[in-house]
């Protein structure tokens, strides 16, 4: 008995870890069963006098009551746990103490785990800030209260505080610099290096005294900074740490206030106004909208059809509405599509039209189909979605043997073909059936749509320009093109109320359409830079450039600056041969210009004035 009590006493004083406590707990249960059997008879005779009261005042809260017994408070002859087993109330109490102890231990372990996680998170954030910068507390420009350990960069405000007087306040003390910011890296060699500023002529201006010669590396750096700030004073509005004067007005504002034209005070302190000045984005999106005359900035790119050149003259080039797809067609009976990027210009597809040398091919403005025509009494329609070619014609009731000249309406609803004896054939783009005809007095040579397809202009052998209302199918106006005997080309501007008419004499007249319909027959400008028949006219997307060309002479392609009605002096290029130009098109954004020639090449140029293709 005494031996067991001594073992329990020693064990209770040495147990510290939870695993040892569990082992001791199992061992004590074994002893409790053993002694209970031996002492059952004694307990029956002793009765209630031998019950031992367990005193809880000196028991440790973290240990079980029977392990944390203090010998001074327990009867020396009877162990405390024997009395507890004998007394049911004491046993229930010890079980409650044990459960509470386990619960407290579990809560303590959870608390320790949470503290460890918090400490690890702080350590990880600190390491991430050192490696990647301030991820969790982003720096706001213009504020000086940021934490030093969270900055991955600093704003060099030392130059902003330099006064114009170099002799007095140009240099900053190292202590002031350290207070304002902490350098990300220091060169130890700066302090060891000495520089003789009197020996080099261009460094003598850094001297503070006439006989000064050797200075340290850090002083040399500081003086160079101060001298740079002196020679290149920055603008106040661009400095994040600039402060207004005590009266809150600049010199310009004071002078304006005297004249009564001061802006609203609140506008200067508006945060949105400050945000505009702190960004590098364009304040005006269309800052380069106005094209200047005289010199056109461009560069030659890889030929558009370099991946698959044509074996015959190119008669049609046109950009798709998405500006990435280019159509080329010619007398080799092939319709080709290229993806234009200015570098590779990959060919996407090639379609062979067996019985029709292509004179003209054009996208519908909605981009769904391509109309193909030649010197045949029929034409073709190629569906881009289904990749299917449909042969259409001859047109019912017509005897035309050639449908090679046509125009598509801007709303993609109608196709106008040039017919025989002054007839204009109107065909529905959906049903591909003839829906009407128009009749001129002379032969028809060229067509052009206007007013989103509601009006049609025609030009031809009688030298007159006709205006047709397609809703009533009637001619609303006709007038002679000044100086023209036979009209050969016609074009309307997409974004201005202009149209250009070319003749077989090489003269191009540019008219204002409203003035022309009002009875004014005088053109705005007459272009006489071509000496042979005008075969092709084309305005670019914003109507600032007009291209005119003739098939009959080499390099006979001119670009006109429409606002000033002058020819660009550096076009055509002097060192590159355009050969015989046949057709031309501008991309929807104006950035690309493609020109097809009789040699089967499609030359591609980038116009630098325009930002988008």
| Distances in whole angstroms, Cα of residue 540 to Cα of each of 323, 496, 560 | 13, 11, 11
Tell me what percent of the residues of the chain surpass a pLDDT of 90.
50
**Number of other residues whose CB lies within 10 A of the CB of residue 77:** 10
Residue 58 has pLDDT above 80, yes or no: no
Residue 230 has pLDDT above 70, yes or no: yes
Quote the CA–CA distance of 255 and 223 in Å, as a whole number: 36
Quote the CA–CA distance of 203 and 205 in Å, as a whole number: 5
Kindly give, in sequence order, each residue whose CB lies less than 8 Å from that of residue 107, ignoring residues fewer than 6 positions away. Answer: none
Q: pLDDT tens digits for 100-148?
A: 888 888 888 888 888 888 888 888 777 766 655 444 444 343 444 444 4
Quote the CA–CA distance of 2 and 74 in Å, as a whole number: 14
Kindly give, in sequence order, each residue whose CB lies less than 8 Å from that of residue 69, ignoring residues fewer than 6 positions away. Answer: 8, 9, 12, 54, 59, 80
Q: pLDDT tens digits for 65-95?
A: 443 434 444 344 444 444 444 456 666 777 7
pLDDT at 130: 62
Kindly give, in sequence order, each residue whose CB lies less than 8 Å from that of residue 335, ignoring residues fewer than 6 positions away. Answer: 327, 328, 329, 350, 351, 353, 358, 361, 370, 372, 382
- For the chain, domains (ranges, CATH) are 315-533 (2.130.10.10)
Residue 388 has pLDDT above 90, yes or no: yes
Burial-class residue 537 by CB neighbours within 10 Å (0-12, 13-18, 19+). buried
pLDDT at 88: 60
Residues in a beta bridge with 458 = 447, 466
Of residues 335 and 109, the one with the higher pLDDT is 335
Q: How confident is the model at residue 227 (pLDDT cuts 50, 70, 90)?
A: confident
pLDDT at 136: 42
Average pLDDT, integer, range 30-53? 51
Q: pLDDT tens digits for 462-486?
A: 999 999 999 999 999 999 999 999 9
Q: How confident is the model at residue 48 (pLDDT cuts 50, 70, 90)?
A: very low
Quote the CA–CA distance of 365 and 508 in Å, as a whole number: 26
Quote the CA–CA distance of 610 and 279 in Å, as a whole number: 23
pLDDT at 601: 96
pLDDT at 149: 44
Residue 240 has pLDDT above 80, yes or no: no
- Report yes or no: 380 and 390 within 8 Å, Cβ to Cβ: yes
Q: How confident is the model at residue 205 (pLDDT cuts 50, 70, 90)?
A: confident
pLDDT at 263: 44
Q: pLDDT tens digits for 580-597?
A: 999 999 999 999 999 999
Residue 391 has pLDDT above 60, yes or no: yes
Q: Give me the chain's average pLDDT, please.
A: 78
Tokens 């030392």, residue located? 158
Task: Give the pTM.
Answer: 0.56
């Amino acid at each position: 008995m005494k031996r067991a009590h001594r073992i329990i006493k020693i064990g209770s004083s040495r147990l510290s870890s939870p695993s040892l406590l569990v082992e001791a707990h199992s061992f004590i249960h074994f002893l409790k069963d053993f002694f209970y059997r031996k002492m059952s008879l004694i307990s029956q005779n002793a009765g209630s006098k031998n019950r031992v009261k367990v005193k809880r005042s000196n028991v440790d809260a973290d240990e079980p009551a029977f392990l944390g017994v203090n010998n001074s408070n327990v009867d020396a002859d009877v162990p405390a746990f024997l009395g507890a087993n004998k007394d049911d109330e004491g046993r229930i109490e010890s079980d409650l103490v044990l459960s509470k102890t386990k619960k407290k231990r579990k809560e303590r372990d959870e608390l320790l785990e949470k503290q460890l996680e918090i400490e690890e998170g702080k350590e990880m954030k600190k390491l991430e800030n050192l490696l990647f910068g301030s991820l969790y507390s982003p720096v706001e420009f213009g504020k000086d209260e940021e934490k030093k350990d969270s900055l991955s960069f600093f704003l060099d405000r030392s130059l902003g505080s330099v006064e114009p007087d170099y002799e007095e306040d140009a240099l900053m003390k190292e202590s002031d610099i350290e207070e304002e910011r902490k350098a990300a890296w220091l060169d130890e060699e700066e302090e060891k290096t000495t520089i003789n500023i009197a020996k080099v002529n261009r460094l003598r201006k850094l001297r503070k005294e006439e006989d000064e010669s050797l200075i340290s590396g850090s002083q040399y750096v500081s003086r160079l900074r101060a001298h740079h700030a002196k020679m290149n004073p920055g603008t106040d509005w661009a400095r994040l740490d600039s402060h207004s004067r005590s009266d809150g007005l600049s010199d310009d504002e004071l002078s304006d206030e005297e004249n009564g034209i001061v802006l609203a005070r609140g506008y200067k302190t508006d945060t949105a106004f400050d945000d505009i000045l702190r960004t590098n984005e364009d304040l005006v999106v269309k800052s380069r909208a106005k094209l200047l005359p005289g010199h056109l900035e461009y560069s030659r790119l890889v030929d558009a059809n370099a991946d698959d050149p044509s074996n015959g003259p190119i008669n049609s080039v046109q950009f798709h509405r998405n500006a990435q797809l280019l159509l080329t067609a010619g007398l080799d009976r092939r319709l080709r599509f290229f993806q234009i990027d200015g570098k590779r210009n990959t060919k996407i597809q090639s379609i062979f039209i067996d019985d029709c040398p292509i004179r003209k091919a054009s996208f519908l403005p909605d981009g769904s189909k391509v109309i193909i025509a030649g010197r045949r009494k029929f034409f073709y329609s190629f569906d881009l979605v289904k990749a299917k070619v449909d042969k259409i014609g001859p047109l019912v009731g017509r005897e035309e043997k050639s449908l090679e000249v046509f125009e598509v309406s801007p709303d993609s609803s109608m196709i106008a073909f040039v017919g025989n004896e002054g007839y204009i054939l109107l065909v529905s783009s959906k049903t591909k059936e003839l829906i009407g005809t128009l009749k001129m007095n002379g032969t028809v040579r060229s067509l052009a749509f206007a007013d989103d397809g509601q009006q049609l202009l025609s030009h031809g052998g009688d030298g007159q320009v006709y205006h047709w209302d397609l809703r009533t199918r009637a001619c609303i106006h006709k007038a002679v093109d000044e100086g023209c005997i036979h009209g050969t080309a016609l074009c309307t501007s997409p974004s201005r109320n202009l149209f250009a008419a070319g003749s077989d004499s090489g003269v191009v007249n540019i008219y204002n359409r409203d003035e022309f319909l009002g009875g004014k027959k005088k053109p705005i400008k007459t272009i006489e830079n071509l000496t042979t028949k005008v075969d092709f006219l084309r305005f670019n997307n914003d109507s600032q450039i007009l291209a005119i060309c003739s098939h009959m002479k080499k390099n006979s392609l001119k670009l006109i600056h429409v606002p000033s009605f002058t020819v660009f002096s550096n076009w055509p290029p002097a060192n590159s041969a355009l050969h015989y130009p046949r057709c031309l098109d501008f991309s929807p954004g104006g950035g690309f210009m493609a020109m097809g020639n009789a040699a089967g090449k499609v030359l591609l140029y980038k116009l630098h004035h325009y930002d988008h293709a």
